[in-house]
């Protein structure tokens, strides 16, 4: 996978990310690559300002951290991992989501999600993705987040015209893999099952929005 900065400025890269999302991604990345690996990743992604200085655990955007910096971290990890990139990025996403699940209960309406634990698997996915999408819209506001959920028959699609994983980047392959991990972990939390998740479009490859599709049938 070859990742470069887009030749033209990408307005999505300027959107302010939730500080806690960057914190969880940094913590997850450090857990996967170790402290030494992390200093290499931060240096190579030009994110030295976060070395020993992770953002606060605050669930609000509007600090100083941008989608573009989150994408820098993602790109830095993918290049650090090399061939193992995909599975390692999924791990970072899964660990990052674990940090988030407890703390986002109010935003994601966890009571409703807990009630959904007894529903059929395909309904659980729909309820879960709707809650996640509504949560993102709540924290970012409708002006900065226009993501939506779509039933595509065999899959449920999450469609994000504003994606932090790839903001400002162009890539030869779908690169928004931390979010694949986030979806895997979230569906596992909700259903106890391993989801079948694929990224089917990426802004980094010229699409209008990033799209991840979750199969209505689990892997097991």
Interface region with Zn ion, contact rule CB under 5 A, candidates 7-15, 55-63, 107-115, 204-212: 204-212
Q: What are phi and psi of 67, to 5 degrees?
A: -55, -35
Contacts of 218 (CB under 8 A, 6+ apart): 121, 187, 191, 193, 194, 195, 196
* Beta-ladder partners of 159: 148, 211
Q: Say how far apart CA 76 and CA 100 lie, in whole Å.
A: 22
Residue whose beta carbon is closest to Zn ion: 163
CB of 159 to Zn ion, least distance (A): 11
DSSP 3-state percent helix, strand, coil across the chain (nearest 5) = 55, 15, 30
Span 160-199, contacts to Zn ion by CB under 5 A: 163, 165-166, 176
Measured from the CB atom, the residue of 104 and 202 that comes closer to Zn ion is 202
Near Zn ion in 107-166, by CB under 5 A: 163, 165-166
- Closest to Zn ion by CB, 179 vs 216, is 179
By rule CB under 5 A, what count of residues binds Zn ion? Answer: 6
**8-state DSSP, 105:** H
Q: Are 81 and 88 in contact (CB under 8 A)?
A: yes
Q: Which is nearer to Zn ion, 191 or 204 (CB)?
A: 204
Q: Which stretch binds Zn ion (CB under 5 A): 3-11, 48-56, 124-132, 203-211?
A: 203-211
**Quick one: 187 or 211, whose CB is closer to Zn ion?**
211
Residue 96 CA to residue 37 CA, distance in Å, equals 17
In the complex with Zn ion, which residue's Cβ is closer, 3 or 26? 3
Q: Which residues bind Zn ion (CB under 5 A)?
A: 163, 165-166, 176, 202, 210
């Amino acid at each position: 996978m070859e990742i470069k900065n887009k030749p033209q400025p990408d307005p999505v890269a300027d959107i302010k990310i939730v500080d806690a999302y960057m914190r969880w991604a940094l913590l997850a990345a450090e857990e996967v690559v170790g402290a030494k690996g992390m200093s290499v990743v931060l240096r190579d992604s030009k994110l030295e300002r976060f070395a020993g200085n992770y953002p606060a655990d605050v669930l609000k955007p509007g600090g100083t951290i941008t989608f573009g910096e989150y994408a820098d971290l993602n790109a830095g990890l993918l290049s650090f991992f090399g061939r193992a990139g995909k599975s390692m990025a999924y791990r970072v996403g899964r660990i990052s989501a674990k940090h988030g699940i407890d703390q986002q209960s109010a935003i994601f309406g966890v009571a409703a999600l807990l009630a959904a634990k007894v529903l059929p698997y395909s309904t659980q996915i729909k309820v879960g993705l709707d809650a996640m999408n509504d949560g993102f819209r709540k924290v970012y506001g409708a002006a900065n987040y226009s993501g939506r959920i779509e039933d595509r028959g065999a899959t449920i699609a999450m469609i994000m015209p504003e994606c932090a994983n790839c903001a400002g980047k162009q890539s030869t392959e779908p690169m928004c893999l931390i979010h694949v991990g986030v979806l895997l972990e979230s569906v596992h939390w909700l259903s106890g099952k391993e989801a079948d998740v694929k990224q089917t479009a990426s802004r980094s490859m010229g699409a209008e929005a990033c799209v991840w599709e979750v199969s209505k049938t689990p892997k097991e």
